[in-house]
């Protein structure tokens, strides 16, 4: 199976958002309670033929900008679309069709789900949740089926005076793949959409020759409580953006492992160690703990994901088992925008992408794990 095939499996990376976001903000401050797991049953993988084992010392700084320019059409092929827009938010709930109201006694209060959808009212959200639980399923968004671990946020009502005011939004750009961290000043009003913010940011980034597929970038609405995706056609007004307490950031998300950007980045990383080595895998989920496993560079992502899945399943309670069964397990390499989702029904699906190919090691190209959505 090709690298392209594997990378495309990682396209449903929506509500791992908080998860990936946490990597970006708190990289290695994880719990010390490492679970000790050893990978057994090493299968005899056929050798990977397309690896370049010649190693030269890495440069002191990683800078993909020094490489050959990449044209736009090529970037489209390399991208994995981060957006899960549905129809634009209206003034009524898409489920009960009642008009949204901000009045305190209203039952049709507009909300934002953890997946960033603003199309249903609070009552319909909880009714849908009860139905899911009654059907012994994890509660999920009826529009995109992302599992809802968190309560939805109520939308803040935007004052009429604020609706047409233009302002400059300071957007934090978290470019883990391109090693870019900066603040972009983007002109906005409350009717500006996620797509417009992303496009305006892209114009500024292109001027600085920061190249990344724009459709693989995610615009994030940050409140003091949650980080939620601002979808392409969702406006700042739809989410009730508050100048004083909320902020917007942009993340570089998943791209194909075969892309030139990833190849360039991998060139500058140390190779995986030879022999058996210990791999520490952090997680940002409070339901999971840091894991430490013995691996070899010839181990595949499939084997590692399956191993962790089985260990968690064996040691987990009923809820953890339900999560694993419904949404699976995900391995993430945020430095190269790679993620791989393992699900129970994929148990017979083998692939040959190894740690060695993506240069995963103790000190290079750090791996994280979490739930698979």
Kindly state the DSSP code that residue 336 receives in the 8-state scheme.
Answer: G
Residues 6 or more apart in contact with residue 77 via CB below 8 angstroms: 256, 259
Binding segment (CB under 5 A) for Zn ion, from list 59-67, 122-130, 167-175, 190-198: 122-130
Q: Can you point out the beta strands (E) in 7-90? A: 35-38
Residue 96 near Zn ion by CB under 5 A: yes
96 versus 320: smaller Cβ distance to Zn ion: 96
Residue 304 near Zn ion by CB under 5 A: no
CA separation for the pair 16, 254 (Å, rounded): 11
Inter-residue contact 113 to 152 (CB < 8 Å): yes
124 versus 279: smaller Cβ distance to Zn ion: 124
Q: Tell me whether strands 35-38 and 291-295 are parallel, antiparallel or unpaired.
A: parallel
- Report the residue from 82, 93, 188, 255 that binds Zn ion according to the rule CB under 5 A: 93
124 versus 341: smaller Cβ distance to Zn ion: 124
Residue 94 near Zn ion by CB under 5 A: no
Inter-residue contact 171 to 186 (CB < 8 Å): yes
Min dist CB 146 to Zn ion, Å, is 5
Min dist CB 117 to Zn ion, Å, is 4
Min dist CB 200 to Zn ion, Å, is 25
Q: Can you point out the beta strands (E) in 189-285? A: 217-222, 227-229, 247-252, 277-281
Nearest to 219 by CA among 180, 171, 255, 187: 171
- Report the residue from 48, 95, 270, 346 that binds Zn ion according to the rule CB under 5 A: 95
Residues 6 or more apart in contact with residue 195 via CB below 8 angstroms: 83, 232, 233
Binding segment (CB under 5 A) for Zn ion, from list 108-116, 156-164, 225-233, 270-278: 108-116
CA separation for the pair 253, 262 (Å, rounded): 12
- Report the residue from 3, 6, 75, 121 that binds Zn ion according to the rule CB under 5 A: 121
Residue 346 near Zn ion by CB under 5 A: no
Site string for Zn ion, 128-167 (x = CB under 5 A): -------------x-xx-----------------------
- Report the residue from 17, 64, 80, 124 that binds Zn ion according to the rule CB under 5 A: 124
Nearest to 219 by CA among 196, 248, 182, 239: 248
Min dist CB 329 to Zn ion, Å, is 21
Q: Is 145 exposed, middle or buried (0-12, 13-18, 19+ CB in 10 A)?
A: middle
Residue 117 near Zn ion by CB under 5 A: yes
Min dist CB 231 to Zn ion, Å, is 9
CA separation for the pair 353, 140 (Å, rounded): 31
24 versus 108: smaller Cβ distance to Zn ion: 108
The residues binding Zn ion (CB under 5 A) are: 93, 95-96, 115, 117, 121, 124, 141, 143-144
């Amino acid at each position: 199976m090709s690298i392209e095939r594997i990378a495309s499996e990682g396209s449903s990376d929506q509500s791992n958002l908080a998860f990936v976001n946490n990597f970006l903000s708190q990289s290695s401050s994880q719990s010390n309670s490492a679970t000790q797991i050893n990978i057994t049953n090493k299968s005899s993988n056929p050798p990977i033929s397309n690896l370049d084992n010649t190693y030269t010392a890495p440069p002191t700084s990683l800078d993909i900008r020094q490489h050959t320019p990449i044209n736009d059409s090529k970037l489209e092929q390399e991208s994995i679309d981060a957006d899960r827009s549905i129809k634009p938010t209206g003034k009524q709930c898409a489920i009960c069709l009642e008009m949204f109201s901000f009045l305190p006694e209203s039952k049709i209060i507009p909300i934002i789900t953890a997946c960033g959808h603003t199309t249903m009212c609070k009552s319909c959200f909880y009714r849908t949740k009860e139905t899911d639980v009654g059907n012994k399923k994890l509660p999920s968004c009826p529009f995109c089926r992302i599992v809802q671990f968190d309560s939805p946020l109520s939308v803040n009502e935007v004052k009429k005076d604020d609706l047409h005011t233009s302002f400059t939004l300071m957007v934090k750009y978290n470019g883990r793949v391109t090693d870019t961290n900066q603040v972009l000043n983007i002109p906005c009003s409350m009717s500006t959409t996620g797509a417009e913010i992303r496009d305006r940011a892209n114009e500024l980034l292109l001027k600085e020759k920061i190249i990344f597929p724009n459709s693989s970038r995610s615009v994030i609405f940050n409140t003091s409580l949650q980080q939620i995706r601002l979808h392409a056609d969702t406006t700042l007004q739809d989410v009730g953006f508050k100048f004083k307490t909320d902020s917007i950031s942009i993340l570089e998300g998943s791209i194909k492992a075969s892309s030139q950007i990833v190849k360039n980045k991998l060139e500058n990383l140390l190779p995986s160690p030879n022999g058996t080595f210990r791999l520490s895998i952090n997680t940002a989920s409070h339901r999971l703990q840091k894991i430490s496993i013995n691996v070899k560079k010839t181990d595949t992502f499939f084997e590692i994901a399956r191993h962790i899945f089985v260990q968690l399943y064996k040691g987990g309670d009923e809820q953890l088992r339900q999560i694993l069964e419904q949404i699976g397990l995900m391995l993430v390499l945020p430095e190269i925008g790679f993620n791989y989702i393992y699900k129970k029904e994929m148990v017979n699906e083998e692939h040959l992408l190894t740690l060695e190919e993506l240069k995963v090691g103790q000190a290079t190209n750090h791996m994280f794990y979490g739930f698979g959505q």
